[in-house]
Structure 1
Amino acid sequence: MFKRRIAAVAAAGLLASTLAACGGGDSGSDAKTLTYWASNQSISLDKDAEILKPELAKFEKQTGIKVKFEVVPWSDLLNRLLAAATSGQGPDVVNIGNTWSASLQATDAFVPFDDATIEKVGGKSRFVPSALAAAGAEGKPPTAVPIYSLAYSLYYNKKMFADAGIAKPPATWEELVADGKKLSKGGKWGLAQEGAHISAHSHHAFTFSQQYGGEWFDKSGKPTFGTPQNAQAIKRYVDFLAADKITNPGNAEYAQNESVNDFANGKAAMLLWQAAGNQLALHGMKPEQWGVAPVPFPATAPAGGKKVNSMVAGINIAIFKHSKNQEGALDFVKFMTSDEEQIALNKAYGSLPSVTTVSDDPAFSGPEQKVIAETLATTAAPLPQVPEESQYETLVGNVMNDLFAEAAKGKSPSVADIEKKLKTAEEQVK
């Protein structure tokens, strides 16, 4: 049924552009070669390649297996994965956003990490339980194993805060708006947002919905998009630009990483991001110039609101069933989740390891990592692990793209208008 739904989505145009991009595929690997799609984790695709090349060279030296890799931008990755899943042509090993796990699992295109398979990469007990829980639907073998663990945090410019007479980072959205108005002057803005970033939209929509008492799917997996709670949650996020005017209207056109640029260049004083520290350093920002705090909550929790301020974010690594070198692919997954590589890669990206054996390494004891770890341990929640989750990301993300485009024109959407748009998106899932 899921494959038929994906075909319908493709017919509607959501996959059309990327089906062609996959072309004849990359599945011609032999025992001495693997192909790998890596996700964009750093400041640019080139920087990711720079980080990964020496690590993959280590794997080749150890095993004799050469890894041909491509860093795929987030704007393309999901559609390319779905196209490869339905065509049976593509790479051997891939990175996937952990929110897509159940959707990709439902295609039956990936090697399941059942008990015997996961033992080959170290066993279940090796992985952080919350990270492994976001690797597939409950009650089924994971469709991947975690490689990077992340959560959203609030980053703030210390000098801009001091100059505005703000003594500490905001703990509530009301405080964030009040601070943002003090900071939005002289061509500077209080908050940097990315109004054209579909994946980030779906993450914020989930978190704000949890805070406002909403859900995107009920317990049976049925979509529940068009509710007043979800509409109010999205309005709160869009209104930072539309009504509060603490975000530059030009941010409505921002896609991936552009808000980080504005924050690092002093154009905006606050940023909601996952493990921004290493990217800020690459932009030339010194650690003492910025602070990090948990994502805020409403001052008064709405009815049914939950104390959730991030989704359980992270990246998983998976193997396609069509791989002609599954044993080599398993060796590669074991290598990428080894202690040495978990330290090297997560240190390079500022994320946290997804294995339990290196959590006390000094590389992960800084203020930023402590905030991320505390959030993951206490106030983060996983997005619903249902097959339709990837459709939620695309459909709700596009609704929010449209709302930001209107916000840039000075229009603050009503709850009723957002609810109507969400109901239309919900019907597309059905």
Structure 2
Amino acid sequence: MRTIGAAAATAVVLSLALTATACGGGTSTDGGGSNDSPGTLTYWASNQGASIEVDKKVLQPELDKFEKRTGIEVKLEVVPWSDLLNRILTATTSGQGPDVLNIGNTWSASLQATGALLPWDDANLAKIGGRDRFVDSALGSTGAEGEDPAAVPLYSMAYALYYNKRILADAGITRPPATWDELVADGKKIRAKGKQVLGAEGANVSENVHHVFVFAQQHGADFFTADGKPDFTSDGVVAAVKQYVDLMAEDEVVPQGNAEYAQNQSVSDFAKGRTAMLLWQSASANLASQGMSEDAYGIAPVPVRSGTPGAGTQVNSMVAGINLAVFKNTDNLDGATEFVKFMTSDEEQKILNKAYSSIPPVAAAQADPAFNTPANAVLKDTLARSAAALPQVADESQFETAVGTAVKELFAEAAAGRTVTTASVKARLEKAQQQMPTK
């Protein structure tokens, strides 16, 4: 949407000044950057599992396999989500970072605008098998419209409603809620049985943005105008944010303590049977690692305002996922490209996405029976029919930080027993919009 230049540089500097929920090669003396040796790559992986140690157990055998095949050693660092964006942005300005890295797909356009990432033009895509290997929904979150992708899809995910079968049955609820009104009504029955209703991560700015984006879509609103300008205070956006925060403030569906949650605590509560429902991205592997049997819970589409999920205002998830990027000034471009080819191969896509209960963005890998279970069917159907990509604009990371923080502050107000009004929501969103870069 925007050209690389002064505006992009301003966006990066502003992002560095903000707190959020990678980059070029070159030598590094701290062990965090790439190595001049053509036999070595450095890789920053995002924390996909229940812990960093879980990720290492998943990834290291595959990296060893790559080294055996190619002779290239991959030095792995799993970076927590709380640090990842700021680490990436620091690397784009310092030139000190890994050769290959994971990025949240919502950051693709904003990181693309820095000019630090390798563009995946037709020639580069041909080296890893071509554009047609990837499903369209995943490619839609790889960079600004009309530009070559800044990264390639690695894991595809969608939000779903996870529900504890026993807790719902004990409350006399025979099916999961399909609308928000049904969820609020079911919540009263669940609380009457002494259980909490719905987990949330009120202090996680990225999670907050993901949810209020979906609520805004359901209200027929968006956070940006057609020409990419922030529009955080429209009636639809304000109503959407208030509806989400009201799950705690008014409806008593989300526990007040969840206003402080930011590191998967809501997943843990659900796995331990403390809450009846959870809104999460592809949570099955995470729940299994915490000892929750697949028989104990069901998976349903995220509720909508009315009817069933589908096109238009019946959006019920953002197009979630992880992309794989290479920094343009890596000292080992051939090795980095070969690594991306390996990680997006049909074989590895099956292995990695099974491990993380995500959906392969590579079409051929989706044919594996493991991705056609009832649980995965919900996720695949959501991605195909009722998910929308977050705005692919250069200021997306600032948008996540500013709006996500506004929602965090509103949850804190609700948890403190203060009334959340349309006016107070609009005031927080006005403040968030003022924090966005001016063009």
Q: Same fold (TM over 0.5)?
A: yes
The answer on whether the counterparts of 1:209 and 1:234 sit within 8 Å (CA) in structure 2 is: yes
What TM-score, normalized by structure 2, do the two folds share? 0.93
Name 1:5's counterpart in structure 2: 11
Residue 125 of structure 2: which of 118, 123, 126 is its match? Answer: 118
The answer on whether the counterparts of 1:85 and 1:109 sit within 8 Å (CA) in structure 2 is: yes
Name the SS of the counterpart of 1:358 in structure 2: helix
Identity %: 56
After superposition, residues 257-406 of structure 1 pair within 5 angstroms as 257-299=264-306, 306-406=313-413
The answer on whether the counterparts of 2:138 and 2:319 sit within 8 Å (CA) in structure 1 is: yes
Name the SS of the counterpart of 2:86 in structure 1: helix
Give the Cα–Cα distance (whole angstroms) in 1 for the partners of residues 323 and 18 of structure 2.
Answer: 27
Name the SS of the counterpart of 2:198 in structure 1: strand
The answer on whether the counterparts of 2:143 and 2:392 sit within 8 Å (CA) in structure 1 is: yes
* Matched letter for residue 408 of structure 2: N
Displacement of 1:234 in angstroms is: 1.0
For the pair 1:49 / 2:29, whether they are aligned, the reply is: no
What RMSD in Å do the two structures reach over aligned CA positions? Answer: 1.7
Deviation digits for residues 148-190 of structure 1, max 9, x if unmatched?
Answer: 0011000100000000000000000000011112112465201
Name 1:157's counterpart in structure 2: 164
Q: 1:127 to 1:410 in 2, by over 3 A?
A: same
Deviates more, 1:324-333 or 1:249-258: 249-258
Displacement of 1:364 in angstroms is: 0.5
Give the Cα–Cα distance (whole angstroms) in 1 for the partners of residues 400 and 246 of structure 2.
Answer: 20
Deviates more, 1:282-291 or 1:410-419: 410-419
Q: 1:29 to 1:421 in 2, by over 3 A?
A: same
Q: 1:102 to 1:334 in 2, by over 3 A?
A: same
Deviates more, 1:78-87 or 1:342-351: 78-87
Deviation digits for residues 317-365 of structure 1, max 9, x if unmatched?
Answer: 0001121001100000000000110000000000000111121101111
Name the SS of the counterpart of 1:322 in structure 2: coil
Gaps of at least 5 residues in structure 1 are: 16-21
After superposition, residues 23-62 of structure 1 pair within 5 angstroms as 25-62=32-69
Deviation digits for residues 12-66 of structure 1, max 9, x if unmatched?
Answer: 4548xxxxxx996513342010000001111111101111010110000000111
The answer on whether the counterparts of 1:3 and 1:86 sit within 8 Å (CA) in structure 2 is: no
* Matched letter for residue 132 of structure 1: L
Residue 253 of structure 2: which of 246, 258, 276 is its match? Answer: 246
The answer on whether the counterparts of 2:203 and 2:259 sit within 8 Å (CA) in structure 1 is: yes
Name the SS of the counterpart of 1:372 in structure 2: helix
The answer on whether the counterparts of 2:15 and 2:397 sit within 8 Å (CA) in structure 1 is: no
* Matched letter for residue 356 of structure 2: Y
The answer on whether the counterparts of 1:195 and 1:255 sit within 8 Å (CA) in structure 2 is: yes
Gaps of at least 5 residues in structure 2 are: 1-6, 21-27
Name the SS of the counterpart of 1:118 in structure 2: helix
Name the SS of the counterpart of 1:31 in structure 2: coil
* Matched letter for residue 393 of structure 1: E
Name the SS of the counterpart of 2:291 in structure 1: coil
Give the Cα–Cα distance (whole angstroms) in 1 for the partners of residues 200 and 11 of structure 2.
Answer: 32
Residue 83 of structure 1: which of 87, 90, 95 is its match? Answer: 90
Give the Cα–Cα distance (whole angstroms) in 2 for the partners of residues 351 and 9 of structure 1.
Answer: 29
Give the Cα–Cα distance (whole angstroms) in 2 for the partners of residues 29 and 56 of structure 1.
Answer: 19
For the pair 1:195 / 2:202, whether they are aligned, the reply is: yes
Displacement of 1:305 in angstroms is: 7.1
The answer on whether the counterparts of 1:242 and 1:408 sit within 8 Å (CA) in structure 2 is: yes
For the pair 1:63 / 2:39, whether they are aligned, the reply is: no
Q: 1:8 to 1:375 in 2, by over 3 A?
A: closer
Q: 1:271 to 1:56 in 2, by over 3 A?
A: same
Give the Cα–Cα distance (whole angstroms) in 2 for the partners of residues 300 and 57 of structure 1.
Answer: 49
